[in-house]
Amino acid sequence: MASVSSNARMAASKRFRIENMDCASEESEIRRALDGLSGIRGLQFNLGSRELAIDADEQALLMALNAIRKAGFKPEAVGSEDQTGTAPITQSSGFWASWGKLICALALAMAAEGLAFAFPVSLPAKALGMALAAAAIALAGFSVYGKGLSALLQGRLNINALMTVAVTGAFLIGQWPEAAMVMALYAIAEAIEARAVDRARGAIKSLLALAPEEAEVRQKDGSWVRTGVKEVVVESVVRIRPGERVPLDGIVTLGQSAIDQSPVTGESLPIDKTIGDEVYAGTINQSAALEFRVTAPASDSTLARIIHAVEQAQSSRAPTQRFVDRFAAIYTPAVFILAIAVALLTPWFMGLTWMQAVYKALVLLVIACPCALVISTPVTVVSGLAAGARRGILIKGGVYLEDARKIKAVALDKTGTITEGKPKLVALEAVDTNSNTTLLEGLAKSLAIRSDHPVSKAIAEGVSTTSTQDVADFQAVAGRGVQGVIDGQPYVLANHRWIEERGQCSAELEARLAVHEQAGRTATLLANKEQVLAICAVADTIKPSSAQAVADLKSLGVTPVMLTGDNIATARTVASQAGIAEVRGNLLPEDKLQAISELQQRYGNTAMTGDGINDAPALAKADIGFAMGGAGTHTAMEAADVVVMNDDLRRLPETIRLSKRTHAVLWQNIALALGIKVVFLVLAIFDNASMWMAVFADMGASLLVVFNGLRLLKQKTGD
């Protein structure tokens, strides 16, 4: 659901898979390696599938690939047949490549430790121990050494550089058993970390498995053939039986059934579907056979767009993550300088031998490795994004996931947001009692049937006549109504405001409108250029969840405000039912935009929630825009920062609660990572800390923050 320009640009980019790029630290290294290269127009990192898209001319692309290789990475070109970015990670290298080498490295390191313990003075044992240790380091640390040496040669100090210096130094001063054990344990912990991070990303990618790989498609001769979903073209007719999953997005053309939409929208109850209703790929048909017309290819289904949007969200850096990256850029060189100071100064001030001082400095390097700090934020953000997506809350970036907790006011559109958005025509009254009602109904329907506005649809569906007339010069006027020419005469189907602007209101008409408006009805008026001909009264009902959502927002300290283009009397009636005190009616799109600015000045961070084209400017202006995705327009969904897939307003307070939990876990992880580092750094400087202690402190902290971040996946965001 990214912008068209962004999609078009990145679709033309060259994509590369980088196997050892699985966390933010590797992304930062690659960014630094490419920093300053001219000709690179854009980079898009997809850590979930370990892919990098580079938008650059041919010469700049070659320079970029060389820079990436020099940084210790091996980019491999990805085929152009899949541009969705949603391919699941496949472990094609087998058990030996992923875990076998690490287990052998650990066994060799333990053997080296055993020889050093059993035969401390035996030269053959020492020679064999050194050989075993060297083999263990080579098996476990080959990629670490490659990236570490590359970083050192380029004058960059990162995690791999620290580990390379520490292990090499320990080996050279005769501590080869510990050097081997440190590298083996480090590599194993890194593999566990990567698997845990993949679990968070897999929570999104597992959605792909929800859509079947085949669909039963009707052929030209009327027969049905099972075909791969990627080969099914738009406008094909697909049949699904009870119990089957919907393979593609479409509109029902035959049948009636209940659909379990929880995998996509998070709705807990099945939704009845009949002719004309939408169905989504990955949802489950429950009670009867359905036929539907395919409206989107498999690569552009609602499910695929959700996954693509979340992956793009993973690529955008959250505020806390940017802070951690900046901190780590200062922290790592500072630790290196501290280690050098320990090696040079402790013999003078603490009476240590030079060998002891160097060993203490190397232990300090291992302890101070910022791996836990760097990994703490992305895994937490990804877990939060995945937890939201499971509930039908599509958050388009870590920045919105973090900032939702700051919301102080929420502006709510009325139709389709607080109300069902499916109003019904309850009355059509001729202003002149001598008028031909059937003729007026025909005029109203001829105009209304050409508009997709909920009120117009209600009028078109509610009138009793079935005949319509041709309309010339039809135009929808935002915030006012529609107009067109019928039989050479101009007509409008207008709201109260537009009729006032046209100077066609009278005291008698105002009195009749007041009766409908006080009853909570929306009055739309049919008029020609001389006078108002008829009043169409439409009523919309409040969603069952709206009152609870408003109450939840208030309990979180958020002020709800209704902004609507409807008349103020109707708006107040609906607002009182929902529990909203502040109401603004008769608003044009620019009025809603101004209202958002005023709310931001009065309350601070303000969110906007809407579902129509009229809401798009306000959604873009708000600090965070929430679009009602189920019934919302594509324009509103593009402009919004968060898309609520099931139109349930309760997802707003859920998003705020999820943001608060994510923020808390982020700072818990930062505190854990730094706190453990500080404790063991003090022990390393003033006590006898060993490399065993160092590696367990470093990797223990890393695994602790990873699993703490994964807790967000298990917590429910609400009902």
Chain-centre distance for alpha carbon 489: 50
Rounded Cα–Cα distance for residues 126 and 247 (Å): 64
555-576 CB burial, b ≥16 within 10 A, e <16: ebebbbbbbbbbbbbbbbbbbe
226-238 CB burial, b ≥16 within 10 A, e <16: ebebeebeeebbb
Beta strand ranges found along 149-295 (DSSP E): 214-218, 224-228, 237-240, 250-254, 257-260, 271-273, 278-279, 284-285, 290-294
Q: Give the SS3 label for residue 528.
A: strand
Reference 625, options 411, 382, 316, 402; nearest CA is 411
Q: Helix 651-686 vs helix 691-714: angle between axes, to the nearest 10 degrees?
A: 170
Neighbouring C-alpha atoms within 13 Å toward the C-beta of 162 = 29
Reference 663, options 319, 277, 250; nearest CA is 319
* Burial class of residue 443, CB neighbours in 10 A (0-12, 13-18, 19+): buried
- Hunting for tokens 């790029």 — which residue is that? 21
Q: Give the SS3 label for residue 423.
A: coil
Rounded Cα–Cα distance for residues 475 and 463 (Å): 21
Partner residues linked to 158 by β-bridges: none
Rounded Cα–Cα distance for residues 412 and 554 (Å): 13
CB 694 within 8 A of CB 367: yes
Tokens of 120: 């401390």
Q: What are the CA-CA distances from residue 66 to residues 10, 40, 81, 464 (Å)? A: 21, 13, 25, 72
Reference 57, options 39, 37, 44; nearest CA is 39
229 contacts: CB under 8 Å, gap ≥ 6: 211, 212, 213, 214, 215, 247, 248, 281, 298
- Say whether 221 is catalytic: no
Give the type of residue at 554.
Answer: K
Q: Give the SS3 label for residue 194.
A: helix
Rounded Cα–Cα distance for residues 650 and 648 (Å): 5
Reference 445, options 458, 459, 455; nearest CA is 459
Reference 659, options 349, 260, 393, 348; nearest CA is 393
Handedness of CA 346, 347, 350, 355 (dihedral sign): positive
Tokens of 553: 């927002």
**Of the residues 260, 413, 623, 647, which is catalytic?**
413
Beta strand ranges found along 566-640 (DSSP E): 582-584, 606-610, 624-628
Rounded Cα–Cα distance for residues 239 and 252 (Å): 10
Tell me which residues are annotated as active site: 413
